[in-house]
Amino acid sequence: MTTGLTRDAGWEIGVSRTLRLPPAAVWDFLVSPEGVQLWLGKGVRLPAVKGETYETADGVTGEVRSCRPGDRIRVTYGTSTAQVAVSAARSGDGAVLRFHQERLADAEERERRRAHWKAVAAEVERALGVDRGRE
């Protein structure tokens, strides 16, 4: 099977970054207005209840599919589904930030979204003022 193409979720991409911060600090930033703007889009107030909807300033609409505070949130994003998750690093000295998006149109969209999520991870890292961890 082609890399990034799954049987059930179509084309997908995942990007992760290890940050030298407690998982709770990373999560709190991601759900803050500044953090939400970085990963979900400008003009979005993050709904945290399953079934609530949102719209970005660019007109992308979506709905919360699930939310486990401190752990992960899964939302539709147009015709795709995106998930942001935070967990403790195996080493115990930081947090792993993960972005995952599925149901992408094709390999080209997958590569565009890879570049997007890598840029978002770098922006989160800069905003939090942390040293570069493992990617």
53 pairs with which residues across the strands? 63
Alpha helical stretches, state H, 31-106: 33-39
- Predicted confidence at residue 131, as pLDDT, reads 57
- Predicted confidence at residue 55, as pLDDT, reads 92
- Predicted confidence at residue 3, as pLDDT, reads 80
- Predicted confidence at residue 28, as pLDDT, reads 97
Q: Provide the residue-wise pLDDT of the chain in tens; the chain has 135 residues.
A: 678 888 887 899 999 999 999 999 999 999 999 999 999 998 898 887 899 999 999 999 999 999 999 999 999 999 999 999 999 998 888 999 999 999 999 999 999 999 999 999 999 999 999 755 444
37 pairs with which residues across the strands? none
**Where does residue 63 rank: exposed (0-12), middle (13-18), buried (19+ CB within 10 A)?**
middle
Q: Say whether 62 sits in a helix, a strand or coil.
A: strand
